[in-house]
Amino acid sequence: MRPGDAIARARPRVIAALAAQLRDLELCEDAFAEAAESYLAKSVTAERPEAWLFTAAKRKALDAMRRNSAQAKIAQDAALVSDMADIIKLPEAIPDERLRLIFICCHPAIALEARTALALKVICGLPVAEIARVFVTSEPAMFQRITRAKSKIKQAGIAFELPHRRLWAERLEAVLLTLELAYTVAYQDAAAERDNGLSQEVERLATMLVELLPHEPEALGLAAMVVLARSREDARVDGEGTMVPLSEQDTALWDMRAIERARAWLDQAAFLGASGPYQVMAAIQLTHARRAYDGSADWGAIVRLYDALMAMRPGPVIALNRAMALAKTSGAEAGFAALEKVDADRLENLRPYHAARARLLAELGRADEARGAYEAALSLDPPSAERLFLERRLAELT
């Protein structure tokens, strides 16, 4: 593993473990950044980068706290837990800390729009620019929002403990949204070259959430959705590194055990009798997965599921996906008409929108316009697997 990857992988666990002891997110992030710099600067690679980074970051954080008299008392307490003991109990102690930290970031005393952003920054280590893109806002505005949230956690004395079970419900929505957005970011690249283990991390957290809340249908739905999307990881890129769209993937490459696991979770959710958007999204993924058994996908069912999703959580991206499914059942013309009705202003910066338009325009024989749409998608900085795919489609236009 390259040192940069090791750092990215260790980040969420180490930050979570540090924050649990030191109760200051800003400080923990700064200390981790410093520790990462030292890690990159030294010549030998540590056998367990996570433990090395934790110890180094904690030492740096404690030094910083001692310089600040107000925090000296906490620093003293934290220092009592010796570094050696921290290393020994590291692997088991940490997984819980991450989920705990998500629950803390998703505290209802923090403004709704800041909760998820904060969690994405602190736990998933997403750069602020990326988070700003997900929320369709500017980087400085997002930076300010996150800084304000961190400061409130520190100043207002928000507890650094996993809240009592009866308080989980009011935080769950933001927790689920955090995992969904983290996954969206991780999943947008077929070859996972920008991913840094994020999708694996999201799967782990979503699974942990299901273990924690086995009777929460939407937690089951989210976990099923994530696992289903990941079940296709090996089929998303061909031998030349080009992205393969879902409907053209070789189902022999899908992970059938993962699909079965997701199906069981969705069954469990259905028994609980409260539907919700994550269950519907998972059901859409499961309908796609059925191609591995039936040989063809039931696009009519997919359109109906998108209709249900639009009723629960209307949004331009869902409308876009619905239009593409409609093109499969009712023809490219109907699909294109539905796509043209979607608010294009909100989709202008999204590659899938231009790629979808291009696809339908090509099917309708409007090659010049299709070419323009492919070029628009290519101008939005696609990862290499998607770029190769778009270029191939562009070359196929006649």
Partner 1 sequence: MQYMLLINEDESIYEGEEGAKRMEATLAGHMALAQAWTEKGISFSGERLKPGNTATTIKWDGGNHALHDGPFAETHEELGGFYIIDVDTLDEAIEWAKQIPVPGKGAVEVRPVWPMEG
Comparing CB distances to partner 1, the nearer of 64 and 191 is 64
With contact defined as beta carbons under 8 Å apart, do 101 and 122 qualify? Answer: yes
**Which tokens belong to 318?**
């869902």
Paired strand residues for 237: 243
Q: Of 69 and 82, which has the nearer Cβ to partner 1?
A: 69
Nearest CB to partner 1, comparing residues 41 and 70: 70
CA distance 244 to 192: 13
Virtual CA dihedral for 268, 274, 278, 284, nearest 10 degrees? Answer: 70
**Interface positions with partner 1 (CB under 8 A):** 69-70, 107, 109, 155-159, 161, 163, 167
> Smallest distance, Å, CB 162 to partner 1?
11
Q: How many residues does the chain have?
A: 398
CB of 385 to partner 1, least distance (A): 45
| Minimum gap (Å) between residue 203 Cβ and partner 1 | 30
CA distance 351 to 209: 31
CA distances from 293 to 259, 269, 319, 369 (A): 11, 22, 28, 37
Nearer to partner 1, 26 or 369 (CB): 26
> Measured from the CB atom, is 69 or 296 closer to partner 1?
69
Q: Are 120 and 128 in contact (CB under 8 A)?
A: no
Nearest-5° angle of CA 152, CA 197, CA 185? 60
Return the number of the residue (156 or 264) whose C-beta is nearest partner 1.
156
The CB-of-152 to partner 1 minimum distance in angstroms stands at 9
Nearer Cβ to partner 1, position 163 or 315? 163
Quote the DSSP letter at residue 237: B
Backbone φ/ψ region at 273: left (φ over 0), alpha (ψ -120 to 50), beta? left
Q: Please, what is the minimum distance in Å from the beta carbon of residue 14 to partner 1?
A: 24
- DSSP per-residue letters across 252-289: GGS-HHHHHHHHHHHHHHHHTT---HHHHHHHHHHHHH
Q: How far is the CB of 160 from partner 1 (least distance, A)?
A: 8
Radius of gyration of the CA atoms of the chain, in A: 23
Name residues whose C-beta falls within 8 Å of residue 285's C-beta, 6 or more positions apart in sequence.
224, 225, 228, 229, 262
Residue nearer to partner 1 on the CB measure, 77 or 161: 161
Instruction: Supply the minimum distance, in Å, between the C-beta of residue 68 and partner 1.
Output: 8
CB of 159 to partner 1, least distance (A): 4
Q: How far is the CB of 77 from partner 1 (least distance, A)?
A: 14
Determine if residue 197 is left, alpha or beta; phi over 0 gives left, psi from -120 to 50 gives alpha, anything else beta: left
3 vs 163 by CB, closer to partner 1: 163
